[in-house]
Structure formats: C-alpha cells, structure tokens
Amino acid sequence: MKNVPLYLAGEFVQSQTSDWIDVTNPATNEVIARAPAATDAEMRKAIESAADAFRTWKEVPVSERARVMLRYQALLKEHHDEIAEILSQETGKTFDDAKGDVWRGIEVVEHAANVASLMMGETVGNVARSVDTHSWIQPLGVCAGITPFNFPAMIPLWMFPMAIACGNTFILKPSEQDPLTPMRLTELFEEAGAPKGVLQVVHGGKEQVDVLLTDPVIKAVSFVGSVPVGRYIYETGTRNMKRVQSFAGAKNHMVIMPDADKQQVLNALVGASVGAAGQRCMAISVAVFVGEAQSWIPELKEAMTKVRPGAWNDSGASYGPVISPKARERVESLIATGEAQGANLLLDGRGCTVDGLPDGNWIGPTLFSGVTTEMNIYNEEIFGPVLACMEEANLEDAISLINKSPYGNGVSIFTSSGGAARKFQHEIEVGQVGVNIPIPVPLPFFSFTGWKGSFYGDQHAYGKQAVRFYTETKTVTSRWFSSEATAEAEANFSIQLR
C-alpha cells in the first residue's frame, strides 16, 4: 500500500494526518494507494512556503522562468507513456485516451514557455507634451488550483505551469480519487529545476479546499468540476476577495443536418459520446437530428453496439470504467429514470460485464431516442457513456433548443452547407463551437471558453486569458526633465516676464 506524499516547501513529505482516503483502480475497485487529508498545520505550511517563494520567484527574469517550462515539457515528453500508464491505472482510461490526456497538458506547458511574449505590456509616447505612458504585466502572488478526477494530467497542467511562468507561486489540490498522476507531474517539475516553494501539492476534500478559498494570502483560485461545487467555489472565493475561474458542468449538443456526411456523423457521435466513458466536460451527450437526418438513428444504434468498455491495456476496448461504484450507480439510476419518463431506450448499458474484471465500474454504451426537454436525462449532466437523441424540424429550432439550455460549454454542427455553419456559429450561445468537429477543445494559444452555467468568472483557462487571470496590469505615466530642457524652460519663462 502506497501512501501518497504531500509536496511542501520543495520536499515530498508524509502527512501526519489520521484521515486517509483510499485511491482505487476503477477496473477492479482494488485499493492501490492512500491519499492524506492534509492537516491544518500542513495547509499552513503550504501557504507560507508559497508566500515566501513568491518574494524571490517574482524577481526571476521572465526568460529564466520560460526555460524552466522548456525543460519541463521536454521531461514530460520523455516520460509521456510512463505518466499515461499511471493515469490509466487510477482512472481506468484506455492507454490511448490516457496518452491524449497527457499530451494536451504538454501542449499547455509548451505555450507557457512562450510566456515572455504573452506578458508584454503597451507603450504610448507623448500622451501629453513630454509625457509617456506604459503598462507592465506583473504576477499576483500565491495562486491555487482545485482539479477534478477526469483529467488528472491535462487540467493540473492547464493551471500551475501558466501561473508559475507568469511569476506566481502555486498550491495544487488535485482530486483525491486519482492523485498519483499529479504527483508524478510534480516530481518531473522539480527535476526540471523549479525552485523550492514555487509549487506545493496538498491533498484532501472540502475542509482543505475551504482553507484555500478563505486564506487572505491566496489571490486567485482555479477550479474544474461539477455545477454545485463550481458555484460554491466561485461564491466563496469571490466573497473572500479572490479572483476565481470556476469551470462547471455541461450538456453539449451536436446538431446533425441532413446534408452532412452520414458516416462522418456516426463515427463522430460514437467517439464523442462514449469516449472516456462519457466522463468529459466536452463529451457530446445530446444529438439533435434535423429533418431527414432523423432516419439515421437506427444506424447510430448499430454503430454503438460495436463498441465496448475494457481494461486500460485492452487494445480492442473503446473506453474504460467510470470512476467509482457511486458514479456507476448514479448513471444507472439516470438511465432508469429516462426509461420511466418515456424516452425510448434503444441500447441499455446497465449490468455490463467485462471478462476477467467482474468488480469494475462498467457501463455499456447507452442510447435513447425520443428525448424531450422535460426529462432528467436531458437536464442533468450524466457523465457516463449515454447519448440522448432529439429531433427538430429545422436549424432555427435546433439553435433555439440549445440556446435555452442553462449550459454553454461546447456544441457542434455537422453540415456541408457553409451558410448553415455560419448561421449556427454566429447565433449559438455557447462558448466553444465545432463545425464538422465533435469536440471543439481549442489548442492552448486560444482559451477554453465555456459560457453560461458552464463557467463562473471573467477570464478563462490557458491562452492569453490565463495570463490576464494570473497577472495584474500596472500603468506608469512619466515625465523627465533634462538639464537643457530645464534651462530652455527657465529662459522662456524669463522672456515672458519681460
């Protein structure tokens, strides 16, 4: 049994807590490690160490901070598959899916290595006679990140590399369900040459999160997770005068026009709905078939019957288990509710089994048709391999349906019409839009831009917005006098007196 360490003041240390949290392999439900709920003293040490480190780290030249990120991304690439295997063991993700998780995080670290150009200010000379104005971008101080179970490599790498590259120090509280991957990321960050105290890692639950949300030393908090927790994080953090970016739930739609390429649609829908067992905030959970495209649903059912869950190293598996027995029970309960409320259950993933792994949290691909907006399976984020099909007469109705949703994380349209695509992307009230792309997650030089109930805050993750979130702007207006200019001014003054 492995006890997961804390990372405090540049040292991996064993917690003195008496409160431990089991870390399980979702494919077997065997306990593979224990994570500590950090004590009050350990939380205090993390905050004080981060504050001490900030005093010197903020003075390190931006080019040196960038070089740390260059070394870090090289180490992450060197250990890419090793990290992915650790990730697979504690999340149940297939190996290919886990590698994608790691790689998307590496891309953000590469972006962080370009921090010097991202922190360039602005200058205007002669805003008044002999007066110049310029702006500087400066770090905030101690920042914190609270990350979810579903992307234990990518989402921590969204946060701490960008914050630290900007000159801040950072406290990471990863999910207690899969802390092994973030700890390996931390080991490599130390190996890359990060100074002691620049990054701290603590573990725990709500009690530890509340410390991060209320301590006045911490200036900004980043969060990714569920809607109720996301609202709590935002309300508590802002009430304590912190900057907060809180990424919450989603209900992502994909609109299928009858002029779309049918095979491309079917392939995209299967992967985007059941990939990662549906445990993605950008998963497609609602398919909106427009007009004659409604006739494709039987072929979609046939395509979904060909995919199955399995172990991380099963090359034939399309996805792994959901994260816990509690998660499986919740998804199966929503499937039952959908059926009871009148939706047509075309594929039922309940009671799914995988050979040799009888105790895993398995759910088979699940497909509903005839779903309406009053049903729970439409209104709730299921976070499982469940796809709900709806039908609309035209594009206008499809857009209206989506715009009434309280969520606005991601959406996509499949069509061969440029006019339909432009109308859709212009009128849709969702932050991330795909055209013939099912999951439109942007690359790191753009920002992850959820809208409405999918995001609470003002500045989004990575890209230029992350730099704005983790920095302040200082504006300097200056006027300088040379001896010649002073003499000339005095002479002019004397002439005026005569």
What sign results for the dihedral spanned by CA atoms 447, 413, 93, 452? Answer: positive
> What CATH number was assigned to the domain covering residues 2-249+455-476?
3.40.605.10
Residue 116 scores a pLDDT above 80: yes
Annotated catalytic residue: which of 143, 166, 281, 352?
Answer: 281
Q: Give how far Cα 322 sits from Cα of 270, 279, 370, Å.
A: 17, 7, 26
- How does residue 481 score in pLDDT terms, banded at 50, 70 and 90? confident
pTM: predicted TM-score of the whole model, two decimal places: 0.94
Question: Mean of the pLDDT values across residues 300-305?
Answer: 98
- How does residue 478 score in pLDDT terms, banded at 50, 70 and 90? very high
What's the rounded Cα separation, in Å, for the pair 185 and 405? 37
Residue 341 scores a pLDDT above 90: yes
Report domain extents, the chain: 2-249+455-476, 253-406+410-435
For 137-153, write each residue's pLDDT tens digit: 999 999 999 999 999 99
Residue 188 scores a pLDDT above 60: yes
* CATH architecture under which domain 253-406+410-435 falls: 3-Layer(aba) Sandwich (3.40)
- Using CB atoms within 10 Å of the CB of residue 362, give its burial: 0 to 12 exposed, 13 to 18 middle, 19+ buried: buried
For 349-364, write each residue's pLDDT tens digit: 999 999 999 999 999 9
Of residues 498 and 126, more confidence is placed in 126
Q: Give how far Cα 458 sits from Cα of 216, 461, 495, Å.
A: 20, 10, 56
2-249+455-476 and 253-406+410-435, same CATH topology: no
Predicted pLDDT at 489: 60
Which residue from 30, 32, 31, 41 is spatially nearest to 6, judged by alpha carbons?
Answer: 41
What sign results for the dihedral spanned by CA atoms 191, 194, 197, 198? Answer: negative
Is 143 among the catalytic positions?
A: no
Predicted pLDDT at 1: 76
